[in-house]
Amino acid sequence: MTTMVRSYTAVWRPGTGEQRWWSGSPANFKSADKGYLSKGLRLVTIDRDDQTLGAAGWAINFTHEDRIIGVWRPGSGEERWCTGMSVDDFKQLDDDHFANGLRLRSVDKSGSSVSAVWNKGSGEQRWASGLSVDEFTKKDAAYFERGLRLVAIDIDDDEYFAVWRPGSGGQRWFCGSFDAFKAKDSKYFEDGLRLVAFDHHDGKYVGVWQPGSGAQYWYTGLTVAEFKAKDAEMFAKGLRMVAVDMGRVEQKSAPTTTPGGGDAVTRSLVMKENAPASGAGGDGTWMYYTGTVSSSDPLHGKMVTKVENTSSYKYILAHNGVSTAVLDPHEKVMFAAGSYGGQWSAELLDVAQTSAPPSLTVSITMQ
């Protein structure tokens, strides 16, 4: 049986200074943005995804999850964003923001819902949505001749949504399968081009390349735990996110193990707030919790069979590269995640910063 979990895709390029990212319920996004805005950070990219997660084909085992993610970098001046808007309402809002000296930085369309970010800017701006590939190709060629370049791109149900701003130099864009996209990116990298915008949907990857230099990394299909770890790794190398996108991926299989036999044993583990390395980002110290079982623990080699969320909050639990679906308070699920030892992590859901607890607990059954 296939189990689908939330996945993350991102592009990292050389950068300096602070970076924060947050992922959670759209209802709590305003609170997160307000907190980062007060610290001198500005929203630079946004994505929203509404997916069915859990056991595919089993109606009683899936969860419909509407989630939004944003990335904040040092900045100044006015910032505006929207989510859940119709295209018509978005058009009116963009007209108002344009008149007030704001320009689009990031756009996303999920179904009929538009999300976008505006930062301070000047000069011409064009955008279009609901374009077929032929329409998009013609429009981009026309704008290129007028000295405009792509700054944001989105694909949803084979329809393109894009933004053009004044720019110069060469530009390439491509949409295709993962393998084709990877090959194209390698070629463009050798030609001195770097990814500046990215999106993917239903197995199709679309990107925009413009002249650049230095390192570039992109990864796709990362679980939340893998994404946190990869971003911390990239940050330590002097790289910052320039694009982020969400989707879903098949849950990784747990390591092949043979239960140790004997009676089942249950232990409670406390997972505390995880403060990322300075500037490394993450959901904020109040969204990400970890707890570690030492190799000196006499039970560290026991095989995990079941877990129970013993907290009063919803979270996603991860261990040994395997994640649960969303666990409601006091919910029990079978969880074949290998041995008990090592780091456990939980991503808190649907709780504002001021209401988040200092720790979460899980009851772990092993054999």
pLDDT in tens, the chain (367 residues): 566 778 899 999 999 999 999 988 888 899 899 999 999 999 999 999 986 665 554 444 556 678 899 999 999 999 999 999 999 999 999 999 999 999 999 999 988 899 999 999 999 999 999 999 999 999 999 999 999 999 999 999 899 999 999 999 999 999 999 999 999 999 999 999 999 999 999 889 999 999 999 999 999 988 888 898 899 999 999 999 999 999 877 665 443 333 334 467 889 999 987 654 323 344 443 467 889 999 888 888 888 989 999 999 988 888 887 777 788 899 998 888 788 999 998 888 877 766 788 889 999 998 7
Q: Return the CA Rg of the chain.
A: 22
3-state secondary structure the chain: CCEEEEEEEEEEEECCCCCEEEEECHHHHHHHHHHHHCCCEEEEEEEEEEEEEEECCCHHHEEEEEEEEEEEEECCCCEEEEEEECHHHHHHHHHHHHHCCEEEEEEEEECCEEEEEEEECCCCCEEEEEECHHHHHHHHHHHHHCCEEEEEEEEECCEEEEEEEECCCCCEEEEECHHHHHHHHHHHHHCCEEEEEEEEECCEEEEEEEECCCCCEEEEEECHHHHHHHHHHHHHCCEEEEEEEEEEEECCCCCCCCCCCCCCEEEEEEEEECCCCCCCCCCCCCCEEEEEECCCCCCCCCEEEEEEECCCCCEEEEECCEECCCECCCCEEECCCCECCEEEEEEECCCCHHHCCCEEEEEEEEC
CB 105 within 8 A of CB 119: yes
Total residue length of the chain: 367
CB 252 within 8 A of CB 206: no
What predicted TM-score, i.e. pTM, was given to this entire model?
Answer: 0.71
User: Which of these, 27, 15, 21, 18, lies nearest to 224 by C-alpha position?
Assistant: 21
Domains in the chain (CATH in brackets) are 3-250 (no CATH), 265-366 (2.60.120)
Placement of tokens 């079982």 in the chain: 293
Backbone angles phi, psi at 277, to 5 degrees: -55, 150
